[in-house]
Structure 1
Amino acid sequence: MTATQVGSRILAALAGVRDPELDEPVTVLGFVASAVIDSDGTAVVHLRLPTYFCAPNFAYLMVADAYDAVAALDEVRRAEVVLDDHFASDAINEGVAARAGFMNSFEGEAVDELDSLRADFLRKAVLAGTDVVCRPLSMPGTLTLGEVPPSKDLDRLRRRRAELGLPADDASPLLIDPLTGSAVEPDQVPLHLRRARLTRTSLDANTGICRGMLRHRYDTDGQGEEAPAE
């Protein structure tokens, strides 16, 4: 396999790494500044974010997930993922390289690991995905997932629900409470759909802001930015 092919596989692996808040791949957002591999199988990935003060817990999740994705490739003997131009770069880069976890990386500052934060963002992604899937449907509160016309948006919603451990098979209700996994009661459907619309609108707005800030900061696109979103 050529270096170009391996590089493409690294970018493909990074396309599975999402900004936890925006629920979009780091490649599509332009957060991958570079991704190379040398003849010894050492892969070096540089990430950058829209601002110097992006939340360190969000940044840590992306760097750690990128490390896991790249290190899992057969062609990669050693992975190095570096976050550039961030106030907590040293702590994040050293912590991820040592597989130390968030609390040990920010000893004395962090109060717990990031599992609950990741779950919170997944719940928001489920709500946002629900809005996208439900928008063209009439009476979505009566449908199961199997009764919804197939689409990439539906596949994405199924994946997010599965990641949370929520029902995602054909017999599952389309509308569920992402916190409990229970079907939304008929009298709660309008409120649930309004929450889903508000969540999706918020994610779209934040994504646009982050894209604009990143381009203003670096005046360039990142590797893989034109790759299709998941």
Structure 2
Amino acid sequence: MTALATRQQSESLAAVGEDDVRRALGVVLDPELDEPITDLGFVRSVHVTDAEVTIHLRLPTSFCSPNFAYLMASDAKDVVTALDGVERVVVELDDHHDSDLINAGLAADAGYKGTFKHEAEHDLEELRWTFRRKAHTAAMERCLTELLRADASLEEARLGDVRLRDLPTGRHTDALLRRRAALGLSTSPTAVVMVDHEGNGYTPEQIPLALRRARSTRISIDGNAHFCRGLLRTRYDGSGADQAVRLDGIEPADQHTLLPLTVKES
């Protein structure tokens, strides 16, 4: 390598900082909670040197699903590796019952099946698409429920006529557009909002039940996210400072006090 090439590489690496890495990690989602790992507080630390980026991740419990854990860690490595000027990326998952196995697999670029071998029954892409569909359902329900609350004259059975152009601008609509794009659904302003993951609409008679099912999916996602955020704050003191305000406006706070528990002898 010439002196010029060496200097250019050094300058390129120096241009990548911790903020750049954290912004890149912001597109990595917890597949079940549908929130960025940066917002959830799962990024424990980022260290950038002239030659490499080292990232440590943490999860709410030591027994979080290994496939979810691997998916997030693998995606984290991929997005940071894609940054211009980054030569080497090390991602390590801390304090998980499969940390050693997952970290070794990531270091070797072995892939999910190569890491878990016979324990990996399915490819992670199948899991990824399952949760993309759930995320779209939840985002759709948020937008339609917001519309119903804002317009008392709008009948539930007429939701099948609502188009993307009818939704108010804001983060709920932005989130829905991203979820639709991830599934390959139309993001045209004239596209119908209330559709399934294949783009099929609903008749007026089908809408009430479909909306209730969508609401159940959204409540499940939101409830799990709230629970996991609390578990992380309990497990890692001060981690609440790394958690961003959620889409629904709930703010994380380490100052939340727990009710005292008294263990009675039997």
Assess if the C-alpha contact under 8 Å between 1:34 and 1:222 holds in 2.
no
In structure 1, what residue type is equivalent to 2:80?
Answer: V
CA distance in 2: counterparts of 1:215 and 1:228, whole angstroms: 15
Give the whole-Å Cα distance in 2 for the aligned partners of 1:4 and 1:52.
35
**1:185 Cα deviation from its structure 2 partner:** 2.3
Percent identity of paired positions between Structure 1 and Structure 2:
46
Given candidates 7, 16, 23, the residue that maps to 1:12 is 23
- Match of 1:107, SS state, is helix
Q: Which runs of 4+ in 1 moved over 3 A?
A: 1-5, 226-229
Q: What is the alpha-carbon distance in structure 2 between the residues aligned to residue 33 and residue 161 of structure 1?
A: 31
Confirm or deny: 8 A CA contact 2:138 2:215 kept in the other structure: yes
- Aligned residue number for residue 263 of structure 2: none
1:162 aligns with 2:173: no
**Are the aligned partners of 2:16 and 2:86 in contact in 1 as well (CA < 8 Å)?**
no
Is 1:171 aligned to residue 181 of structure 2? no
* Residue 134 of structure 1: aligned partner: 144
In 1, Cα distance between the equivalents of 2:163 and 2:245?
A: 31
CA distance in structure 2 between the partners assigned to 1:112 and 1:57 by the alignment: 10
Shift in Å, 1:109: 1.0
Which of 203, 206, 212 aligns to 2:230? It is: 212
User: What is the Cα-based RMSD across aligned positions, in Å?
Assistant: 2.1
Candidates 21, 37, 43, aligned match of 1:32: 43
Structure 2: gaps spanning 5 or more residues? 1-10, 148-153, 248-266
Q: CA deviation at 1:107?
A: 0.7
Alignment partner, residue 117 of structure 1:
127
Q: Match of 2:109, as an amino acid?
A: R
Structure having greater relative contact order (Cα 8 Å, sep ≥ 6): 1
Counterpart Cα distance in 1 of 2:38 and 2:160: 35
Q: Which amino acid aligns with 2:77?
A: Y
How many equivalent pairs are there?
227
Cα pair distance change 1:37/1:107, threshold 3 Å: same
* Structure 1 match to 2:75: 65
Is residue 102–residue 115 contact of structure 2 (8 Å, CA) maintained in 1?
yes
Distance between the aligned counterparts of 1:82 and 1:222, measured in 2? 21
Runs of 5+ unmatched residues, structure 1: none
Kindly provide the amino acid, as one letter, of the partner of residue 28 in structure 1. Answer: D
Higher CA-based Rg: 2
Q: Is the 8 A contact 2:30 2:68 kept in 1?
A: yes
Q: What is the one-letter code of the residue matched to 2:201?
A: A
Partners in 2 of 1:110 and 1:66 — Cα distance?
20
